[in-house]
Structure 1
């Protein structure tokens, strides 16, 4: 699909009415959709991470959702996936958004394994402050879980339920990783289309 056609269907959705800025709505507004099977090059102004502060490293951007690297990752490759429309909790998403999120979780999971070389990962989704939801915009975490128990590297992230040590995202590493992830998404989509699974 040509980028101009995708952009024409772009609708950032509802911006929160509570007056509190939503960082995910800011990301949605700053980054137009692109064809995930043929992503723009990393040098494209459409992917410039410095459109926002802190920078946003986009991995997937469709008319209905966006995926980007977490700015405080639990491990390299920690992704966030959210609908473009502002939806506070999972029960607020439309049935089509839920279907798109589910399909994208599977594709992003396969791309994440390829890009990081880590074969285990968590998919987490929190609803409400009491459930540890920090940003009031529904989102999924995809967190690669490298094997640390056998390595003796116990200072690294705890391996259950998204807990662990968070470190700031390094911009240069993030740019390279986001590009690698976009490429892996394109490869996974190509493989899926050949299998007739899309």
Structure 2
């Protein structure tokens, strides 16, 4: 997809309206039009980067600050009991728009949204081997 076809780039350009809740020179935060719960917002870099691995690390501080400020305000405005901060990377993980974005989802004790089912390793050797494999692949 070219940047010209990216819905988030069109929102940033002002070609598509949004409900902004926070903005800086580098970051835009706006309400998701298909919220998990009302108040669900997206934090996006204004520059087009496809996913977590394409994001410049220098944006980390700006993204974290936006998540903190907007997240706190969302919890307060909605009366939420908690907040999920998440990012989907690639289609298999649920990424629908291929412009990096973080979800700020207000959560309520009885909102019916279950968390992931946890699994177990067969044994501690399996976990240790996988940890070693992951460590060996980190640059």
- Does TM-score exceed 0.5, indicating one fold? yes
Question: In proportion to residue count, which structure has more strand?
Answer: 2
Counterpart of 2:97? Answer: 135
Match of 1:160 among 98, 115, 121: 115
> What CA distance in whole angstroms lies between the structure 1 residues aligned with 2:57 and 2:30?
22
Counterpart of 2:11? Answer: 27
Check the 8 A contact 1:124/1:141 in 2, yes or no: yes
Distance 1:98 1:19, change over 3 A: closer
* Structure 2 gap segments, 5+ residues each: 117-139
> What CA distance in whole angstroms lies between the structure 2 residues aligned with 1:143 and 1:157?
13
4+ long deviations beyond 6 Å: none
Check the 8 A contact 1:74/1:157 in 2, yes or no: no
- TM-score after normalising by structure 2: 0.76
Counterpart of 1:34? Answer: none
> What CA distance in whole angstroms lies between the structure 1 residues aligned with 2:23 and 2:114?
28
The offset of 1:157, in angstroms, is: 4.5
* Structure 1 gap segments, 5+ residues each: 1-15, 31-50, 149-155, 162-198
> What CA distance in whole angstroms lies between the structure 1 residues aligned with 2:112 and 2:90?
23
* Matching of residues 1-198 of structure 1 within 5 Å: 18=2, 21-30=5-14, 52=16, 55-148=17-110, 157-160=112-115
Across the two proteins, how many residue pairs are aligned to each other? 116
| Larger Rg over CA atoms | 2
Check the 8 A contact 1:145/1:159 in 2, yes or no: no
- TM-score after normalising by structure 1: 0.54
Distance 1:105 1:19, change over 3 A: closer
1:109-128 per-residue CA deviation (whole Å, 9 max, x = no partner) reads 21111111112111110111
